[in-house]
Structure 1
Amino acid sequence: MRSPAELIVVTHGAARPIGPIALRDNAAGRSHLAASLPGGARLSPIFGPADRLPGRLRGTDQEAVAAQYLNYFAVLGIADDLESVAEELRAHDAVAGAYVKPPAEPPIAPLSTAVRSAAAAPPVTPSFQARQGYLDTAPNGIDARWAWTRPGGRGTGVRVIDIEGAWRFTHEDLSQNQGGVIGGEPSAEEGWRNHGTAVAGEISGDINTFGITGIAPEATIRAVSVFGPGSATAIRTAADALSAGDIILIELHRPGPRRNYQGRADQLGYIAIEWWPDDLAAIRYATARGVIVVEAAGNGGEDLDAALYDARPSGFPDSWRNPFRGDADDSGAVLVGAGAPPPGTHGNDHGPARSRLAFSNYGSRVDTQGWGREVTTTGYGDLQGGGDEDYWYTDEFSGTSSASPIVVGAVACYLGITATSFGMHEPAQVRELLRATGSPQTDAVGRPATTQRIGNLPDIRAMVGE
């Protein structure tokens, strides 16, 4: 269940540095470079067009800000020997970097025991809301039920775009407040479809008497698939469809440099996608537009503070710096780790509530956590199955996959409540609020919170200040 590998080219920039990645327009160089590509291949700009890009950015020096994005290109039209093509491209005078991104995967926890029920769905789906413990009061949940009692507290007016592979927006519990797929080509794989459906249910499942209820059921949810355009273009497409104060969710991770190969059942070594230069630029572009980006930290069991991530791969441009170090090299996204639900949830025990689950990446850059096991939502069919996917529900959605939508839902409720009053709505402000409030991470055996940070579990009431 993987997206295709992607070949990315960054052309040279030299005029003046603008942030960590310095770029300038080099139309002649790009034209010559395109002519040197293999037959059938073409350069597709990730950002642009150049004459319209400045108008999509905020600030007084929009032309200068736009310049940092215009030298990123995806190479489309070829699927084989990407590493060989990248090596050839790196020898070109116009190229500052050329690299192949490993296929992206959904960050669902490995070794899930979910087995679809073969029993037909009943004539009317029962209510599963009591099984959604993440909706409960702090410290075990995020206090969503309290948020629903406040004006705007169901995420009213907030727009969310989920970036991954596929969805089933025909599901019986996703008939309200969703705008479908607005970009990319959804995968036909059932795994991607179940995953996207589960994510959408967590955030924006309908208000009704059956099934589940989303954390922010009045938020509007749409989707962009990474199939076709690739992940950075998908992020840029989502950012252009949103306004300041809206939310992008990135439900992807990739194998990183420690074990740089894909397809591992245990996902060891997988990391957040912001580590790759074009995805980093796309996330910065979104946050520069005022869009809040929530990103799965990944399920690789990795310490993102490790020196390994400072080493620049040979295909990355010289200007790249490790975004996991934060500060000037920061992506601006909210990075989400996976914590344990309360022991006894659905009869299982994954360790102390809010302790780091062993698969979750961790480090000083990780901002906040959500439940990484035992999440009840739409999709998969282990809780309610049968022959029609539109009636499937699960008790076992997991990973930084299940954790990240919990954070999105909490943020959407907060934004809805504070929309007409004082509130911190800039991406950096929201991220800092998540770090400063919430129910603290706890220790697990061999996984101390002091050295393996995944952050606090959001508490909407504390975010609002009540």
Structure 2
Amino acid sequence: MRILKGMLVSTVAITAFTGLGKTTHIVSAASNNSVVQQKEANVEKKDEKQIIVKFKNEINLPYEDGIEKRIKHEKNDVVLENFFSEFPDLTLTRLFTSVSPEEIQNLDKNAKTDNNNSSSNLLNYYTVQVSKNVQAERLVEKLKQSPLIEDVYIKELENLTPPEIQLPNLSLNPYDDPRFENQGYLKEAPYGINASYAWGIKGGDGKGITFVDMEYGWLLNHEDLINQNIELMSGRNLDQHVGHGTSVLGVVSAEDNNIGNIGITPKATVKVISQIRDNGQYNTADAILSAVNNLNAGDVLLLEAQSSYVGYGKQYLPVEVQPDVFDAIRTGTDKGIIIIEAGANGSNDLDQFKDINGKQVLNRNSKDFKDSGAIMVGAGSSTVPHERLWFSNHGSRIDVYGWGENVDTTSAESSRSILNLYTSRFNGTSSASPIIAGAATSIQSIAKERLGQPYKPNELRAILSNTNTGTQSKNPSVDRIGVLPDLKAILSNLGFKSNASDSESEHPQTGQITEQEPNNQSIQANILDFNATIKGNLNNNDNVDVYTFNIDSQRNIDISTLNEKQIGMTWTLYHESDLQNYVAYGQNDGNMIKGKYEAKPGKYYLYVYKYENKNGSYSLNVK
């Protein structure tokens, strides 16, 4: 066997999994049953580590278990010969076991056809089990001496993103889903992503696109998910964090029915894939590659995970900081898969992050920047204006943000015995990322329906992160978490018009503005007098009051609203020349909602909203 051959990349991983006990409840994809629980006695806790070894580009190894025997036999590298002689119990096994070598070759070949900068060859990733009494650092130092090796490092265990941080004319009918009113992230900008606008466009419900959630626990027979017939693609469905995965699925895929929530794209095909592989090992890269191999260009893969890293402790980082995971992600985006990656809950400035080689791989302005092609998500507040939440990673690598708190969605307990649990407190980049995944799925479905093909990963990332069509955070230069996508602004900019009728839309449209009352009667906007205090109530399904006033000459106006019951409430202001985009919005200051605007002449419309399913009252003053 010739080890030196061609321009291939070889990687050896010395691997481990931690965190499972002997009585873990699992569901295996191989069982052909995604709902029934099983007891699995052979999934045990292992205190082991992973070492990743990356050979230089010209190295080629056959993809087979026990490859160390060939390395020793060929005698091409004295360092590696001595290494395996000193540690005879170590055996190299394949890292990627869910995808055949032939399929991996095809993925790599297709990626290189479309992209000259495609990811590394994945066929030479291997794993070795190392017991806790072996010093991994010592092994790393020995392997670094090999002239065949390009890079070697200890792989930190990726961690699931924690679940807690201490009626228009539409294809869907959200109004019979009783918790829809709690789902503020679905509402119009600047509060949410304006999912209702997308639902008024054919394809906006996600039909024709496959959405996959990667983590390792879900209640797939939850009452608001069961009819989605969600498939476990591969790996094991564990009780650990089952509520987390169930909450993620609810944001994107809760059914359009008369119970619970409604997902952003409930008509998309839904699948899940577990980081706990069929062999019981924790292997994020293998899970990603397995999903990528079974998805088509334009489909959406959500990575609900985060990673530890040497020197960072519990200041978690995006999973792509691990090179094997980066390469798996890049293989997916090269194929055309839309990959949504949680930016992680580490409070880190990602521009300052340096990998073990001292490179700023997450800084877009650095010569060392490495682009996986994934859309990376930060976490913003649920209140307007949205500001970066304290735990969210931030920096130039973050493309967009979603709500990182107070997300209302499906839930579950580890016992799996209750099928109708919900939460209004799902949070973290965990809750932000499925909001973006849902928006991405909606846009891809519309593009496939209207254009005949979905957008490419780089195209969709540019669309979602466009500052002209997204809601910027409170202080963009400080927050550095991108924008919250506004589906109405995005789809309008792309030339897709919603079928939502003007009279029922929650946004002002054209001409005389009317307000839809709960009794289905429409009234004209209320005329507002300057310097007069106006009392108003927003009760039950009466979510908005509309006011209008005229400005004769340019002047500064000061709008203040006393939120008397301190519910979720704010206001937005529109000029008659552009009834699609607000010119000002209220900022919360205690129980006051305030804002100033230098108004040009013309007619204005002021919308006072509530975005919480509670009754409220207010006092409004404009001067």
User: Smaller-chain TM-score range?
Assistant: 0.7 to 0.9
Show the 5 A alignment for 1:89-168.
Answer: 89-108=143-162, 110-112=164-166, 127-168=178-219
**Contact preservation (8 Å) 1:299, 1:359:** yes
Pair 1:67–1:325, CA change in 2 (3 A): closer
In the aligned structure 2, how far is the partner of 1:203 from the partner of 1:230?
25
Counterpart in the other structure of 1:248: 301
Counterpart in the other structure of 1:322: 361
Matched, 1:173 2:224: yes
Q: CA deviation at 1:58?
A: 2.6
Taking structure 2 as the reference length, the TM-score comes to 0.61
Letter in 1 for 2:465: R
Q: CA deviation at 1:49?
A: 4.9
Counterpart in the other structure of 2:357: 312
Pair 1:395–1:416, CA change in 2 (3 A): same
Letter in 2 for 1:433: I
Counterpart in the other structure of 1:453: 480
Matched, 1:32 2:71: yes
Counterpart in the other structure of 1:283: 329
Counterpart in the other structure of 1:183: 234
**Contact preservation (8 Å) 2:343, 2:376:** yes
Q: CA deviation at 1:414?
A: 1.0
Matched, 1:338 2:387: no
Counterpart in the other structure of 2:463: 433
Letter in 2 for 1:202: V
In the aligned structure 2, how far is the partner of 1:103 from the partner of 1:245?
29
Q: 2:392 aligns with which of 352, 356, 360?
A: 360
Per-residue CA deviations over 1:299-325 (Å, capped at 9, x if unaligned) read 11111111x425516xxxxxx871443
Q: CA deviation at 1:172?
A: 1.1
Counterpart in the other structure of 1:58: 110
Q: Secondary structure at the match of 1:161?
A: strand
Per-residue CA deviations over 1:209-259 (Å, capped at 9, x if unaligned) read 001111110112211111225011111111101010001111111223442
Determine which structure has the larger helix proportion and give its number.
1
**Contact preservation (8 Å) 2:156, 2:310:** no
Q: CA deviation at 1:69?
A: 1.5
**Contact preservation (8 Å) 1:377, 1:393:** yes
Pair 1:296–1:6, CA change in 2 (3 A): farther
Pair 1:6–1:295, CA change in 2 (3 A): farther
Q: Secondary structure at the match of 1:274?
A: helix
Pair 1:405–1:62, CA change in 2 (3 A): closer
Q: CA deviation at 1:458?
A: 1.1
Counterpart in the other structure of 1:414: 443
**Contact preservation (8 Å) 1:25, 1:71:** no
Q: CA deviation at 1:50?
A: 4.7
Q: 1:270 aligns with which of 311, 316, 341?
A: 316
Per-residue CA deviations over 1:170-207 (Å, capped at 9, x if unaligned) read 11111133432212223332xx2111111111111111
In the aligned structure 1, how far is the partner of 2:69 from the partner of 2:272?
31
Pair 1:50–1:331, CA change in 2 (3 A): same
Letter in 2 for 1:255: S
Deviates more, 1:25-34 or 1:213-222: 25-34
Counterpart in the other structure of 1:390: 419
Q: CA deviation at 1:440?
A: 2.6
Deviates more, 1:98-107 or 1:366-375: 98-107
Q: Secondary structure at the match of 1:419?
A: helix
In the aligned structure 2, how far is the partner of 1:251 from the partner of 1:409?
14
Letter in 1 for 2:245: G
Q: Secondary structure at the match of 2:478?
A: coil
Q: CA deviation at 1:106?
A: 2.2
In the aligned structure 2, how far is the partner of 1:104 from the partner of 1:201?
23
In the aligned structure 1, how far is the partner of 2:118 from the partner of 2:465?
30
Q: Secondary structure at the match of 1:160?
A: strand
Letter in 1 for 2:408: T
Q: Report how many residues are paired.
A: 414
**Contact preservation (8 Å) 1:386, 1:392:** no
Q: Secondary structure at the match of 1:197?
A: helix
Q: Secondary structure at the match of 2:328?
A: helix
Matched, 1:196 2:250: no
In the aligned structure 1, how far is the partner of 2:121 from the partner of 2:310?
25
In the aligned structure 1, how far is the partner of 2:416 from the partner of 2:218?
17
Per-residue CA deviations over 1:382-427 (Å, capped at 9, x if unaligned) read xxx9983321111100000000000000111111122132376100
State the superposition RMSD in angstroms: 3.2
Identity of aligned residues (%): 30
Pair 1:258–1:386, CA change in 2 (3 A): closer
Letter in 2 for 1:389: I
Q: Secondary structure at the match of 1:401?
A: helix
Counterpart in the other structure of 2:35: none
Higher relative contact order (CA 8 A, sep 6+): 1
Letter in 2 for 1:341: S
In the aligned structure 1, how far is the partner of 2:186 from the partner of 2:19?
31
Per-residue CA deviations over 1:59-105 (Å, capped at 9, x if unaligned) read 67489988932364241444534445444444445433332222222
Counterpart in the other structure of 1:217: 266
Q: CA deviation at 1:275?
A: 1.1
**Contact preservation (8 Å) 1:7, 1:98:** no
Taking structure 1 as the reference length, the TM-score comes to 0.80
In the aligned structure 1, how far is the partner of 2:356 from the partner of 2:160?
25
Pair 1:38–1:394, CA change in 2 (3 A): farther
In the aligned structure 2, how far is the partner of 1:148 from the partner of 1:235?
29
Pair 1:164–1:6, CA change in 2 (3 A): farther
In the aligned structure 2, how far is the partner of 1:244 from the partner of 1:386?
37
**Contact preservation (8 Å) 2:248, 2:431:** yes
Determine which structure has the larger strand proportion and give its number.
2
Q: CA deviation at 1:167?
A: 1.1
Segments of structure 1 that go 5 or more residues without pairing to the other structure are 16-23, 113-124, 262-266, 314-319, 343-351
Counterpart in the other structure of 2:96: 46
In the aligned structure 1, how far is the partner of 2:257 from the partner of 2:478?
43
